[in-house]
Structure 1
Amino acid sequence: MVLLIKNGVILSPDHEGQKDVLTAGGNIEAIDENIKLSGIECETIDAKDCYVVPGLIDSHVHICGGGGEGGYKTRTPEITLTDITMAGVTTVVGVLGTDGTTRTMSNLLAKTYALNEEGVTAYAYTGSYQIPVRTVTGSITDDLILIEKIIGTGEIAVSDHRSSVPTVEELSRIASEARIGGMLSGKAGIINLHLGDDRRPLDILYRLLENSSIPITQFLPTHMNRNKWIFKDAVEFGLKGGYIDLTTSTVPKFIEDGEVSSSKAIRILLEEGVHLNQITVSSDGQGSLPVFDEAGKLKELKVGKSSSILECIRELHFDEKLEIEKAIRIATSNPAEILRLRSKGRLKAGYDADIVILKKESLEVDTVICKGRIMVRSGRAIVKGTFE
């Protein structure tokens, strides 16, 4: 399908003013002023009073479900296609989590392939909270080299009562295997670390970095806004050059207990001198949001949503007064560059035609295009998942 988007303000994510976007064959062909076509069958989309932005990247999603901390009935459901597209998300990275037994790497990969067949772009990390890391081939390095859709390892849990309490040596070995696999496959080989509620959660990572030549940018710690002491460490980590991933899904109880909202966290990080390019957000979509009592017993369980990313962007722009083009970066060009997703995260000729049209006044989703295919139009899903 050939699409021509006219009259919209382009955030590529750079603010480029009002221009047209031409897509064909799933790619962006041109971005220019007043593009005109003749002799070509083309569908035109009017983006007047809208921003035209890259499709959002949700880099931490429990696509085949998660949870289970309260028993079998608390296992969260798989994500659906419209959970993704209606959120303005066009690319997801699937993860396992606490449960690496009933949620397996085969399960995760099958869901990754299914989402790609349904029309979005999906990748996966190999492993779960636990170590030894449960992989597909028996090796993190081999998974990265031999399986196209695997781009790193994670989420490996540290500083959490649900983790395997890895040693520095164990985590170093995991990082080395991921780095080598990334180098040999041309992928990022990122190690996605789950941070729990223990004090000084990054100590193990600092000890690793002091005693190895693995760069700080090989790691992407997530949930770095989950409480005040982790967020304090996040500022320090960012000033040292590390990447910071903030979780957008939350519940009021978390905020009451000291979680720093993702939008407020970004404002503080920027004020403290952390570079915007080091910051990403992810939803923890379909992951469980468990609330435990002082004895560690589960009290309440909610489910993360990919839609929380766009909510964060709205709060950043409207409440925290961050320029819209900067707010967009945290879920477009930043994760694309950190995860080395070369055709994602920007509106640029030759890149994938992953495009979202947002209403200027509200930043609500109007249209979502995945690889040149219209998935959401006028705020309604026109393409649904196989069983929706």
Structure 2
Amino acid sequence: MFTLIKGAELYSPACQGKQDVLFADGRILAVGDLQAPEGYATEVIDGTNKRLLPGLIDGHVHIIGGGGEGGYRTRTPELQLSDAFGSGITTVVGVIGTDGASRTMAELIVKARALEEEGLTCYAHVGNYHIPVRTVTGKIEDDLLLIDRIIGVGEVAISDHRSSQPSFQDLAKVASEARIGGMLSGKAGIVNVHIGDGQEGLSPLLEVVEKTELPMSSFYPTHINRTENLFTEGLTFAKNGGVIDFTASTVPEFLADGEVKAPRAVRRALEAGVSPAAMTMTSDGQGSLPSFDASGQFSGLKVARVSALYEAVKEAILEEGADPESVLRTVTTTPANTLKLPAKGAVETNKDADLVLVDQDWEIDSVWAKGRRVVAEKTSVVKGTFETP
């Protein structure tokens, strides 16, 4: 079965005006002024007065759940398939956070494979907040080389009271092993770094770059919008060759404490001259959003949602007035390039048919994941194995 979307305004993510897109067997076959192939069954979708976007890439999701900072009952639930699809997300990268004891790499890889079987493209990073990294094979390089789902390391925590307080040598060794593993496997080989609100900020990463031959691109720091100071530091990091990540999920308490909301962070970064090729947004979905009192004691928790990612995209465009092409790059081409996912991030011939059709208000109408329609007329039509139909 061929599918032909006709007459939509195409953002690939660069705006290309009205274009038709033909796809089958999970791949995009042609883009342009097209007609249905003669002699073949073809579903034709009317894209009039709609926009067609690449499927979103969410590079930071706690697919097996996270949390636990407030005890056993505060462990957050795992990702549900329809939550991702309903938010226009067709590719995710799974991570483990604070809890590297009961949340294991075996669980993470099995969940990634389960989501793949259900139609969502899913990769993973090896490790969690703490160093030494808990690998599967015993070596970071071997995990990257031998396990197809693993594309990097993380999220390793710094500048946070929940981190393992890694030394310069610790960070340099992990980054070196990740880089070598990436080179050998043809994968990203990056270190996804959780940046807390501590005073050190990005300085541990900058020290590694300054004192070793490792490039700034070895690190992919997230939560850069956590504080105003960290945001400012992150802009410099991005302008000097790094890629930074803004977290879309938040709560009023975080914003009151000085967090820069992700849509505003994107707009301000663009205005400051940061290229959209140097920044991404992710949801931190299923992660915990914990609160701590002045003495560092746990005081409450909410759960981050993957839906925050597309909500941030809309807000950046509609409320912050940021350029749509630039905003879309932060959730499509930039993560695809950063994570070395060549089949993702754009609506082009031979790319995966991961597509999102939205209306004039940027509300999601339909979603295709590798050519399979998973959302139709604003309704999820594909559910996870154990979701209620």
TM-score (norm 1): 0.98
2: CA distance, partners of 1:387 / 1:68: 24
Q: Distance in 1 between matches of 2:190 and 2:49?
A: 38
CA distance, structure 2, for counterparts of residue 273 and residue 370 of structure 1: 33
The letter for the 2-side match of 1:164 is S
The question of whether the paired residues in 2 share the 8 Å contact of 1:190 and 1:220 is answered with yes
Per-residue CA shift, 1:209-252, capped at 9, x if unaligned?
Answer: 11111110111000000111211211221221211100000011
Q: Tell me if the contact between 1:200 and 1:230 (Cα under 8 Å) persists in the aligned partners.
A: no
> Match of 2:372?
373
Q: What is the correspondence of 1:124-163 to structure 2 with a 5 Å cutoff?
A: 124-163=124-163
What residue identity is the alignment partner of 1:355?
L
The sequence identity of aligned pairs, in percent, is 50
Aligned to 2:381: 382
Give the superposition deviation at 1:323. Answer: 2.2
Query: In the TM superposition, what is the alpha-carbon distance from 1:6 to its structure 2 partner?
Result: 1.1
The match for 2:263 is: 263
What is the SS of the residue equivalent to 1:342? coil
Aligned to 1:17: 17
Is residue 36–residue 42 contact of structure 2 (8 Å, CA) maintained in 1? Answer: no
SS at match of 1:253: helix
1:284–1:304 Cα contact (<8 Å) kept: yes
Question: 2:51 aligned with 1:51, yes or no?
Answer: yes
**1:268 Cα deviation after fit:** 1.5
> In the alignment, is residue 320 of structure 1 matched against residue 315 of structure 2?
no
Equivalent residue number for residue 300 of structure 1: 300
Equivalent position of 1:66 in the other structure: 66
SS at structure 1 position matched to 2:113: helix
Partner of 1:243: 243
- Code of the residue aligned with 1:383 in structure 2: it is V
Query: Is the contact between residue 84 and residue 90 of structure 2 (CA under 8 Å) also seen in structure 1?
Result: yes
Partner residue in 2 for 1:231: 231
Return the offset for 1:20: 0.7
| CA drift at 1:200 | 3.0
Question: What CA deviation, in whole Å up to 9, does each residue of 1:335-384 have, x standing for no partner?
Answer: 00011101000000000000110112x21111010001000001111110
Q: In structure 2, what is the equivalent of residue 193 of structure 1?
A: 193
8 Å contact kept, 1:332–1:345: yes
2:222 corresponding residue in structure 1: 222
Amino acid at match of 1:170: D
Structure 2 equivalent of residue 164 of structure 1: 164
In 2, the alpha carbon distance for the partners of 1:237 and 1:168 equals 18
Question: For residue 32 of structure 2, what is the aligned residue in structure 1?
Answer: 32
Counterpart CA distance in 1 for 2:328 and 2:275 is 15
Q: Secondary structure at the match of 1:115?
A: helix
Corresponding residue for 1:42?
A: 42
Q: Amino acid of the residue matched to residue 129 of structure 2? A: Y
Q: Does structure 1 retain, via aligned residues, the 8 Å contact 2:157–2:194?
A: yes
CA contact (8 A) 1:220 1:245 kept: yes
Cα distance in structure 2, aligned partners of 1:34 and 1:178: 44
Identify which range, 60-69 or 4-13, moves more after superposition.
4-13
Contact persistence 2:276–2:327 (CA under 8 A) = no
Query: Contact 1:200–1:229 (CA<8 Å) still a contact in 2?
Result: no
SS in 2 for 1:142: helix
Q: Distance in 2 between matches of 1:302 and 1:350?
A: 40
Mapped contact 1:199–1:229 kept (Cα < 8 A)? no
* Whole-Å separation in 2 of the counterparts to 1:366 and 1:297: 43
Task: Measure, in 2, the Cα distance between the counterparts of 1:84 and 1:314.
Answer: 16
Kindly state the Cα deviation for residue 77 of structure 1 after the two structures are TM-superposed: 0.2
Q: Does the residue aligned with 1:254 lie in a helix, a strand or coil?
A: helix
Alpha-carbon RMSD? 0.9
- Following TM superposition, by how much is the alpha carbon of 1:324 offset from its aligned partner in structure 2, in angstroms? 1.6
Query: 2:103 is matched with which residue?
Result: 103
Amino acid at match of 1:367: S
Matches of 2:31 and 2:341 in 1, distance apart? 21
- Unaligned 5+ segments in structure 1 are none
SS of equivalent to 1:16: strand
Give the secondary-structure state (helix, strand or coil) at the position aligned to 2:23.
strand
Contact 1:57–1:89 (8 Å) recurs in 2? yes
Asked if the contact 1:200–1:233 (Cα under 8 Å) also holds between the matched residues in 2, the reply is no
Q: How far off is 1:23 after superposition?
A: 0.5
Where 1:9 maps in the other structure, the secondary structure is: strand
Q: 1:72 & 1:83 partners in 2: Cα distance?
A: 24
- The whole-number CA distance in structure 2 between the counterparts of 1:37 and 1:347 is 19
2:346 alignment counterpart: 346
Deviations 1:246-286 (A, max 9, x none): 00000111111100011111122122221121010000000
Q: Following the alignment from structure 1 to structure 2, what is the Cα–Cα distance between the partners of residues 344 and 84? A: 16
1:364 aligns with 2:363: yes
Q: What are the superposed Cα offsets for residues 130-178 of structure 1, whole Å, 9 maximum, x if unpaired? A: 1110011111110000011100000000010000000000110000000
- Aligned residue for 2:285? 285
Q: Determine helix, strand or coil for the equivalent of 2:114.
A: helix
Q: Name the structure 1 match of 2:75.
A: 75
Aligned residues: 387
Distance of 2:373 and 2:182 partners within structure 1: 33
The alpha-carbon deviation at position 35 of structure 1 amounts to 2.5
1:290 to partner: Cα distance: 0.5
User: Is contact 1:199–1:230 with CA below 8 Å preserved after alignment?
Assistant: no
Which secondary structure state, in structure 2, belongs to the residue aligned with residue 82 of structure 1?
A: helix
Q: Cα offset for 1:14?
A: 1.0
**Residue type of the partner of 2:332?**
T
Q: Any idea what SS the aligned residue of 1:134 has? A: coil
**In structure 1, C-alpha distance between the alignment counterparts of 2:136 and 2:349, rounded to whole Å:** 36
Give 1:72 shift. Answer: 0.5
